[in-house]
Amino acid sequence: MATSAERDDVPTPDAWLARKRDALARVELEPRATSIGRVEQIADGIAFVSGLPDVALDEVVELECGVRGFIHSLDAASASVVLLDSGETVRAGMRVAGTGRVLDVPVGDAMLGRVVDPLGRPLDGGEAPEAASRLPVERAAPAIIERDFVSEPLQTGVLVVDALFAIGRGQRELIIGDRATGKTSLAVEAIVNQKHSDVICVYVAVAQRATAAQRVIDAVREQGAFERCIFVVASAAAPPGLQWIAPFTGFSIAEFFRDRGQHALIVIDDLSKHAATHRELALLTREPPGREAYPGDIFYLHARLLERAAKLSPALGSGSLTALPIAETDAGNLSAYIPTNLISITDGQIVLDAALFAANQRPAVDVGLSVSRVGGKAQYAALRDVAGRLRLDYAQFLELEMFSRFGGLADARVNAQIERGKRIRALMTQPRFNSLRVADQIALLAALAAGVFDGVAPDVTAWVRDKLSAANDAHGDGSTAVWLRNALDETVRDSLSGRIRVLVERAMHERPDAKQQERRLDEQQTW
């Protein structure tokens, strides 16, 4: 039974109506129009919709069933929508509404150490990252006036790359080669080596097998600084829309750190599959095909993407974004459509050769076809000093070795050059995750030039290199030394060569077979 107080709280009908009239009077009534479209056709992850006259390119739209997509192309009476989710529940006749915003992605420190999809949704089983802000996936590249010269090195820890094809912070260096020649492994080496630097790494997997992407994640977790890496994964099973936006998402995430004065490295694995996805979407949306059925804007697609890698001017914080895109060739054909496009866009290429890989020379870098257009400007002066003639000597060795297969060469000078080339090859053949500090790279090349390795077996050379790389984790990068930034004087050069000579003598004592090989080499040279 209600008390008298409770009965007093119950408003009378007249009071209740008066209260509602006051609430309605305070509402500002105005006409509001909402565009509602309709799905006309749906197939293969593409929906053709009508009735959305005000939508813009790259605008996100939502379908009645909760599936999202973005506007890929516009016609006079319809628009093609690339779905970002599975389209199994989408049916013709469903309502479509525009959201008024373009595709964007969460960015910030909360993304570090996370595995996400191209929309920023977690794939590692954790909570959604609480991002500081969001950035559009499509952003304009820095203007020329906003850029600075690429002059600071980005060390990969791989001797053949750091000595012959230096990569600078803000550079775009293409890694290209046939299938299963170690392209991803070389890029992962560069990521792992940044555990001794201040570089933040972003790895983007485009249309890769889920197991392949997981292997990369596990390798970085075990060997590198996982807490300073971000992984954007659009596997081969993901919708084509996610595969298409994945590289752009990775660049936006990396640009957040670049724009606040930090240094970032992005690896895109790979752009050949991204080009195939772009061709698939273009054909499904009825764009006119061109060469090899690719649409006419395929060059612009990757040009506007890779132009976003840059070294910013001091006025903008001096941040940098270095790009290592990966491309796959067929039977070593570098003159194919997509490889030539990417080679013309980037600042150089590291070519991996299937024959070298099969010969167990890894990384299988083709020294003759690889090039860095930044060159020595991005190297430490000390490393540039000792590596000056290395590429020429190695190229001459490869040519002499080819001719020596037809018969013995009696010239002692030629034989000595071939033996020296074998030591160079032994240094360049570097196992995975055996990165070398820049100081150790300089010491090895200085010792090579001083003849420390002459007369010893090539496997002794490899043993010395592995001993140096084993100390990498304990002593860090060592790139802050002042003497690295100047050409080597004789005192420093002799000191470095003496350090390697001690290791060579130690190898001769610890490896009994090494002395036998040394005697055999002396006999061959004497003969």
What the block records as the tokens of 5 is: 């107080």
Q: Stretch 309-321: mean pLDDT, rounded?
A: 95
Domain total for the chain? 3
Q: Say whether both 148 and 295 belong to one domain.
A: yes
Please give the span between the terminal C-alpha atoms of the chain, in angstroms, as a whole number: 120
To the nearest whole percent, how much of the chain has pLDDT over 70? 91
Q: Say whether both 373 and 518 belong to one domain.
A: no
**Cβ atoms of residues 341 and 136 within 8 Å:** no
Helix (H) or strand (E) holding 190: helix 183-193
Q: Last residue of some domain: 379, 406, 431?
A: 379
117 belongs to a structural domain: yes
pTM of structure: 0.88
1 belongs to a structural domain: no
Q: Say whether both 215 and 303 belong to one domain.
A: yes
Q: Say whether both 192 and 323 belong to one domain.
A: yes
What the block records as the tokens of 140 is: 């304009």
Residue 26: per-residue pLDDT = 81
What is the C-alpha separation between 347 and 169, in angstroms, rounded?
12
Helix axes 458-470, 412-428, angle to 10 degrees: 30
- The H-assigned helical ranges of 75-182 are 159-164
Q: Last residue of some domain: 360, 379, 398?
A: 379
425 belongs to a structural domain: yes
Q: Which has the minimum average pLDDT: 22-26, 155-159, 253-257, 477-481?
A: 477-481
What is the C-alpha separation between 320 and 311, in angstroms, rounded?
4
7 belongs to a structural domain: no
Alpha-carbon radius of gyration of the chain: 30
11 belongs to a structural domain: no
Cβ-proximal residues to 473 (8 Å cutoff; 6+ apart), any chain: none
Name the pLDDT band for 271 (thresholds 50, 70, 90). very high
What is the C-alpha separation between 347 and 268, in angstroms, rounded?
15
- pLDDT tens track for 373-410: 987 788 888 898 888 888 888 888 888 888 777 766 66
Q: Last residue of some domain: 330, 346, 379?
A: 379
Q: Say whether both 283 and 203 belong to one domain.
A: yes
Active site residues: 373
Cβ-proximal residues to 364 (8 Å cutoff; 6+ apart), any chain: 177, 181, 182, 352, 353, 354, 355, 356, 357
219 belongs to a structural domain: yes
What is the C-alpha separation between 9 and 125, in angstroms, rounded?
51
For residue 428, give its domain range: 385-526
Q: Say whether both 353 and 448 belong to one domain.
A: no
Residue 10 has pLDDT above 70, yes or no: no
Cβ-proximal residues to 311 (8 Å cutoff; 6+ apart), any chain: 147, 148, 149, 150, 151, 152, 168, 169, 170, 318, 319, 320
For residues 518 and 207, the model is more confident at: 207
Q: Say whether both 365 and 401 belong to one domain.
A: no
For residues 465 and 369, the model is more confident at: 369
CATH number at residue 45: 2.40.30.20
To the nearest whole percent, how much of the chain has pLDDT over 90? 54
CATH number at residue 443: 1.20.150.20
Residue 519 has pLDDT above 50, yes or no: no
Name the pLDDT band for 345 (thresholds 50, 70, 90). very high
61 belongs to a structural domain: yes
- pLDDT tens track for 317-332: 999 999 999 999 998 9
Q: Say whether both 372 and 396 belong to one domain.
A: no
Name the pLDDT band for 262 (thresholds 50, 70, 90). very high
Helix (H) or strand (E) holding 201: strand 199-208
Residue 346 has pLDDT above 90, yes or no: yes
Q: Say whether both 57 and 147 belong to one domain.
A: no
Q: Say whether both 308 and 339 belong to one domain.
A: yes
5 belongs to a structural domain: no
Q: Say whether both 218 and 299 belong to one domain.
A: yes
Name the pLDDT band for 524 (thresholds 50, 70, 90). very low
Q: Say whether both 119 and 181 belong to one domain.
A: yes
